[in-house]
Chains A and B, each alone.
Chain A
Amino acid sequence: MSTTTVTERVDRLDRMWTARPGLLGWLTTTDHKRIGLLYFWTTLVFFGAGGVEALTMRTQLIEPNSHLVGPELYNQLFTVHGMTMIFWFIIPMTTGAFGNYLVPLMVGARDLAFPRLNALSFWIFVASGIFLYIGLFSGFGPDAGWFDYVPLASKLYDPGRNIEFYTLAVIFNGMSSTLTAANLIVTILKLRAPGMSFNRMPLFCFAFLAASLGLLFALPSLTADTIFLYLDRNVGTHFFDPSHGGSTLLWQHLFWFFGHPEVYILIVPAFGIATEIIPAFTQRKMIAFPLVAIAELLVVFIGFGVWAHHMFATGIPTTTLIFFAGATAMVVIPSTIQVFAWSTSILVGRPQFKTPLLFIVGFIFMFVVGGLTGIMFLAIPFDQQTTDTYFVIAHFHYIIFGAAVFPIFGGMYYWFPKVTGKLYFELPGQISFWILMVGTNLLFFPMHIVGLLGMPRRVYTYPANMGWGSYNLAETIGGYITGIGILVLFANLVVSYFRGAPAGPDPWHGPTLEWSIPSPPPEYNFAVLPVVSSPYPNWDHDDRELDGRRLEAGEGLLDQGHQQRVSALIDGWRVGIADMPHSSPWPIVSAFVLTLMFTVLVVEKFVVAAFLAIVLLATFLGWHSKEPQEH
């Protein structure tokens, strides 16, 4: 077969998959890469907002008796900061941006399983974030902490609309996360390349499967909780009212049944990122691959059985405390397996300490420190002494910023050449890492000490004679250094985008399938759907040469439309072909109607909300009016 024929085949795929141009193209896109990029940019905006809130709080606490902001605004700042960083930055950045862009590429698919649902999920996410910030800017930002404990969040103690913005924004955002999780699960289970049985699936995909399953089964608990709170506040029910048979602890049980798995949902994708960067920059396969894969799933699974360790100071029975302390100790096992696997893989490989790997080394350090302080909380008396102090804040920021965000930064550098087709500048990248490493440790480590000295969390200021001033000063300096590090990081990426050298398809000799295609990837991802015989398919040169021969022979092209092969659940064999939808206006229209519905619920216009629910159903009829092609 001649080269011309190959070119013609690729051109045909190009024409078939080319997206609608311009703004309308982006608004109606269903392409996983475009939606991944939309997630990326939007979550960065929310990250910026959460960062400004954090720096405002740190500036307030730089000295005793400061009054930069008052207590009411401070309450809203720490609440919205926590909500933003968890629900509008880390989850959407990992599952939404990284998951969307990379999972189909790694499993050898052309899109996610439900492309229009993916678009709906993105637009709901955007709308829910705008919804939350409308609350903040109108003076009704949520103000009872990100865990929103009752009775503080009840109508009696918080009579404004602040908590309505919390409950509805969380439910709204939860819909988006659930849809994304569903899409990733079905994609990983059913759209894998030929030969990609579970034992040949990249560890990145195991991590995203674990996080998605976690989201799927954890979020309903939060949804039920927030529905109950909304009903208590707006309909007059008594779920959390002990004087009428309700229970305030019910809120905490339901919240933490979601909240603790949530921690693993945040960090497991980061584990997945680490397990891609380490092989690429050590040029060796991950040590203990099956154990790491199982550990990624197990850490989320065990996470569902430990929720009450957040409630050691609530007066629940001692037997319960001991059970949950023991269950929490079990989390150490899969976590430690992974730490040893990452560390050993680096030690026995040929590590090149470029920026992505530096961030992973930083991540391992921060995760170990945060993990060790986490183990300290197993000692029930210690937990009861330090609960609600800055020690807790130090612990979870080492985990959430150090263990979740550091790999995200590393991942940004690692996949930057794939997404943009350009190489980033190495020296500024390494500088940004070291600034961030110094900044975050200066920011969060003194919080351990000031917490042990008794400084409670969520206080907007403190008296001068407590001995907390110098630690808070150091933390605030650390906060600004961290901010500078983040600015250097993004400035480097922006400059690299415009001036970076061409990257080529595979600048790192990466192990997974995304490195086998051009950078940036074409809209159809793979001209020939690849064949896989190991978890490191890009290192299987014979298989990749086979792809080339099949392209020449016209095998495995699927060029009769927006086609995607469907695979068997366990072994990845082909069982059919699905027709993937093109761009569609219905996701953004449905998200718009849903936004209106949630907005009127804030002001208790239930009849209007019911009418909008009917309009929403009508949009779904429009959504399904056009059926896919038959093959």
Chain B
Amino acid sequence: MTEITAETLDPRARERFPIGWWGMAIVVASEGTLFAMMVGTYFYLRFRTPVWPPAGVPKPHVLVPAVVLGCLVLTAIPMRLASVAGQAGRLRATRWLLVLATLVQAGYFWVEVWSYLEDLEKSTPQRDAYDSIYYTLLGADHAHIAIGVLLNLWLLWKLRYGFTQYRTTALRAISFFWLAVIVMTVVVILTTLSPSFT
């Protein structure tokens, strides 16, 4: 017969991550696999094509995408700090850190969409397989950035009246989502820029 009861709290068993965070972790696993498949498709097509990008298609510019990507990567810091501040119950700091991160992330989104539209004037996804995967990969990534910005705005709206356990969990989950989106974006941008590195 066991000695434990349902009320026993093992001092080693701390609640490191709430259920909502686990839900987000599963979403990230699924989305990460989707991006892995798309990046895999990019390289599958690349290594079957003698000239990549095909003749007549300019190699992607590196400087501007690399700089704005750097800015996006840095937003992982305020997002993480906001999560920590949220767990400590520091509402004002949480809000400001979220606002800061959201402004930079929205700016990144704006620059990338503008760049995407500019690219579309030079070539379209209907031109060849290179352009098909290039625009699909970037489009999928931009969609995730947009979802992240919307999540931040929703969270800021929710935090008008202070913290609840639910909102703190949401903050942690969204902070983790952004970390994953930033990693995916780095992979996607490096993939699309890879022809310029050779």
**Interface residues of A, Cβ cutoff 8 Å to B:** 113-114, 117, 178, 181-182, 185-186, 189-190, 193-195, 216-217, 219-221, 223-225, 227-228, 231-232, 235-239, 241, 244-247, 250, 253-254, 257, 528-533, 540, 542-543, 546, 550, 555-556, 565-568, 571, 573-576, 578, 617, 621, 624, 627-628, 630
Contact = CB atoms under 8 A, between A and B. Distances in A.
Nearest to B38: A224
A194 B10 CA distance: 10
A257 B34 CA distance: 12
Contacts of A568: 10, 13, 15
Given A542-B1, A578-B19, 16 more contacts: A114-B19, A186-B26, A190-B19, A195-B4, A224-B34, A236-B125, A237-B126, A237-B129, A532-B2, A543-B1, A550-B6, A565-B6, A568-B15, A573-B10, A574-B10, A627-B167
A239 B41 contact: yes
A460 to B, nearest CB: 34
B18 A531 contact: no
A244 B45 CA distance: 11
27 contacts: A117-B23, A182-B23, A195-B4, A219-B30, A220-B33, A232-B132, A236-B125, A237-B125, A237-B126, A237-B129, A239-B129, A244-B127, A245-B48, A245-B128, A245-B129, A250-B45, A254-B37, A531-B5, A540-B2, A542-B2, A543-B1, A555-B5, A566-B19, A573-B10, A574-B13, A578-B18, A628-B165
Given A239-B133, A244-B129, A113 B2 contact: no
B2 A543 contact: yes
Contact of A576 (B18, B154, B164): B18
Contacts of B9: 573-575
B37 A237 contact: no
A245 B13 contact: no
A194 B5 contact: yes
Given A235-B126, A239-B133, A627-B166, A216 B15 contact: no
B2 A546 contact: yes
Contacts of B5: 194, 531, 546, 550, 555-556
Interface of B: 1-2, 4-10, 12-15, 18-19, 22-23, 26-27, 29-31, 33-34, 36-38, 41, 44-45, 48-49, 54, 125-133, 136, 150, 154, 164-167
Contacts of B150: 617
A624 B166 CA distance: 10
Nearest to B27: A182
Contacts of A219: 30
Contacts of A250: 41, 44-45
A357 B97 CA distance: 60
A569 to B, nearest CB: 8
A183 to B, nearest CB: 8
A193 B27 CA distance: 25
Contacts of A575: 9, 13-15
A224 B37 contact: yes
B7 A555 contact: yes
A12 B126 CA distance: 64
B23 A574 contact: no
What 10 pairs across the A-B complex have the smallest Cβ distances?
Answer: A556-B6, A542-B1, A245-B129, A237-B132, A573-B13, A220-B34, A568-B13, A236-B126, A220-B33, A533-B2
Contacts of B49: 245
A481 B23 CA distance: 45
Contacts of A228: 41, 132, 136
B9 to A, nearest CB: 6
A314 to B, nearest CB: 14
Contacts of A257: 37
Contacts of A217: 29-30, 33
A582 to B, nearest CB: 15
Contact of B26 (A216, A239, A576, A621): A216
B33 A245 contact: no
B2 A195 contact: yes
A542 to B, nearest CB: 3
Contacts of A543: 1-2
A120 to B, nearest CB: 13
A43 to B, nearest CB: 23
Nearest to A108: B6
A113 B23 contact: yes
Given A113-B19, A217-B33, A245-B54, A235 B130 contact: no
B142 to A, nearest CB: 14
B6 A185 contact: no
Contacts of A117: 23
* Residue of A117, A220, A228, A257 contacting most chain B CB atoms (<10 Å): A220
Contacts of A190: 19, 22
A189 B29 CA distance: 15
B166 A628 contact: yes
Nearest to B125: A237
B164 A630 contact: yes
B55 to A, nearest CB: 11
A254 B41 contact: yes
A181 B25 CA distance: 13
Given A550-B5, A550-B6, A575-B15, A231 B164 contact: no
A624 B154 CA distance: 10
A382 to B, nearest CB: 28
Contacts of A185: 26
Contact of A237 (B4, B38, B136): B136
